[in-house]
Chains A and B, each alone.
Chain A
Amino acid sequence: MVHWRSEIKQMTKGMAFLSPWLIGFTVFMVLPIGLSLYLSFCSYPLLQPPVFVGLHNYRAMWHDSVFWETLRNTGYYALLTLPAGMVIAIGAALLLNSRIRGITIYRAIIFLPSLVPLVASSMVWLWLFNTRLGFINTLLRYLGVVHPPGWLTTTQWAMPALAIMSFWGLGNTIVIYLAGLQNVPAEMYESAEIDGAGLVRQIWHVTLPGISPIIFFNLIMAIIGVVQNFTVPYVMTQGGPDRATYLLTMYLYDNAFSFLHMGYASAMAWVELLIVLFLTAIAFWSSRHWVHYQGK
């Protein structure tokens, strides 16, 4: 009886402290996701009330070539940025994980770009990628490239340009890897060295397994980031040229706020949610084979 009463008391106290989040979770998470599920079965041009149309939006999406194009573009962007981004970030973290003189300055400098608001970095890179006057093509011409690429103005180079730019903002990820590297026990390197392993084999057999939980964490964050990528292409290319950089979330945004197809946009929001869940589920499932947790 006494036990019961204390449990209820604890529950009340806990709920009292959790109440901001409980309310927020209900109002800003459960409600909108539920509402968008309902609206995804409706035709809803915003100015008139929603009309139930069953699976029409999903069927329309299946036959919508622009939707598939944005999906392909998003996949292409992921392919360009995820693997290379991971290699660059881990490489930079390895370089920064040392006591070489001036290392704190190098760390600060390499971290700095990730602080820049995305709109501002879009402006700067728009200017850097400028075909005629930009720094990048000026440098390329100086190095002897007679016809440097048109970057953001060509369908072929626009997406690679966005990918290159995304590597500039990896500082956050690099710092997370750096902290992970510092948690790899030194004894493991020592025993590997005694076994005669060189630098490359040490990285492959000691470092990478040692930071695999961090790789996993960063991978999930990167996947979520890629699927919802919006600001940079919206500001820099508006999805162009010729829809070459038109991504999933941009199409979702346009459907909702340019075409006022709220029902269709809601269906797309659900598809986007399912894509994120599906990809993270794959990552979680595969992690059993390559993520090693120390000592636990």
Chain B
Amino acid sequence: MQLLNHRISGQRDAADNSSITVRTLDRSSTRRRPILAWLGHHVVLILASLMALIPFLWMLDTSFKNEVSATRYPPALIPIPFRWQNYIHLFTQRQYHMLLWARNSLTIAVLVVLGTTISSALVAYGFAKIRFRGRGLLFGLMLSTMMIPFPVTMVSMFIIFKWLGDHTGIAWLGTFRPLWVPYWFGSAFSIFMLRQFFMTIPDELSEAARMDGCSELGIFVRIILPLSQPAISAVALFAFLGVWNDFLGPLVYLQHSHQFTLALGLEAFESQLGGSQWNLLMAASVLIILPVVILFFVAQRSFLRGITTTGIKG
């Protein structure tokens, strides 16, 4: 029964997510617009879309060229001969470690997404649904930490992780640990987003459960979490994007090329090739972008909702 419920709600979500539906207050829709303005609007939008798309197209184009046609002058627009083998090449040539890097990225991403979501949801519940002295103050403090850039703490974090490795026997530097363990202690951005969502759930629901003798943890797991699926998935999505994009963290904490993430590997790959073999470099870039683009088309609604709730209420 439980499983069936999941299936049904899953299907409904998929249907909901099939298009971007942002509420629009368009004043001019009540009146017929002059045809020229309508045309101009489309032309400008098409130009803007082209500017957004051309880098993608140029990248795809080059990724299907062979080495000779990729560096021919003047550049040809159409990849002839069409060489899709570049992609195969990246995976089969052992020196590129592509599969290994993808596995590393995925391992870290799973740990970060799980950690961020679970811990941030717990903390957000505390901020949203439990009244206690000093809550507002702590919440303000948490929000202010969002303004502290990572580079500010990175040097001393490196030193702390080095010290831990030297004194506890558990290595941190040169392992994935510095890249995921901190995320199991909540991230300010995710806590804020979830707290905003939990606040919209009426207190009567949790009060009623409390009357029935339900524990706080029970209320959190049985009432709040099931009602917060859209917010949870948005938080998970953003956590994934963040860790997939992260470059400085892996650069500081990882040492050997077999531990690299895709982002770090791509950069190493580029400096190794030193401005040649653009076709392979672009194919590798396509591979690192692909998961994110697929995710976007699967979960457009979560994306846009996530961005707007944090932006508007901030």
Contact = CB atoms under 8 A, between A and B. Distances in A.
A86 B2 CA distance: 48
Contact of A138 (B28, B74, B156, B314): B74
A127 B314 contact: no
B175 interface: no
Nearest to A38: B156
A115 B296 contact: yes
A110 B151 contact: no
Given A21-B119, A172-B307, A124 B282 contact: yes
A235 B266 CA distance: 10
B244 A109 contact: no
Given A18-B127, A106-B45, A124-B282, A272 B151 contact: yes
Interface in A80-99: 92, 95-99
A207 B152 CA distance: 37
Contact of A33 (B119, B156, B311): B156
Interface residue SS majority, chain B: helix
Interface in A169-185: 171-172, 175-176, 178-180, 182-184
Q: Which of B55, B75, B158 has the most CB of A within 10 A?
A: B55
A214 B312 CA distance: 6
B311 A125 contact: no
A266 B135 CA distance: 32
B58 A273 contact: no
A200 interface: no
A15 to B, nearest CB: 8
Interface in B134-162: 135, 138, 141-142, 145, 147-160, 162
Given A17-B130, A120-B285, A124-B282, A265 B155 contact: yes
B196 interface: no
Given A29-B148, A123-B285, 19 more contacts: A10-B132, A24-B182, A33-B153, A39-B159, A97-B26, A113-B52, A118-B245, A119-B267, A123-B59, A127-B58, A132-B73, A135-B58, A138-B75, A179-B312, A182-B24, A230-B247, A235-B247, A253-B252, A273-B149
Contacts, number: 291
A269 B130 contact: no
A23 interface: yes
Contacts of B119: 20-21, 24
B176 to A, nearest CB: 16
A212 interface: no
Interface string A1-40: 0000001001101111110110111011101110110010
B289 A116 contact: yes
Nearest to A202: B27
Contacts of A270: 152
B8 interface: no
A21 B123 contact: yes
Interface in B15-56: 19-29, 38, 41-42, 44-45, 48-49, 51-56
B151 A182 contact: no
Nearest to A107: B20
Contacts of A171: 52
A269 to B, nearest CB: 5
Contacts of B159: 35, 39, 46, 262
Interface string A228-239: 101100110000
Nearest to B62: A127
B298 interface: no
Interface stretch (A52-60, A62-70, A216-224): A216-224
18 contacts: A18-B127, A18-B138, A31-B160, A32-B153, A32-B157, A33-B148, A33-B153, A108-B296, A111-B296, A127-B282, A135-B75, A182-B25, A230-B248, A235-B267, A256-B155, A266-B156, A269-B152, A277-B147
A252 interface: yes
A168 interface: yes
Given A95-B44, A256-B158, A257-B252, A24 B186 contact: yes
B24 A98 contact: yes
B105 to A, nearest CB: 10
A100 B62 CA distance: 34
A206 to B, nearest CB: 11
B130 A14 contact: yes
Contacts of B58: 124, 127-128, 135
A242 interface: no
A249 interface: yes
Given A127-B62, A176-B308, A35 B156 contact: yes
A186 interface: yes
A78 interface: no
Given A17-B125, A119-B266, A180-B311, A98 B26 contact: yes
B111 interface: no
B27 A189 contact: yes
B15 to A, nearest CB: 15
Contacts of B300: 108
A115 B293 contact: yes
A80 B69 CA distance: 35
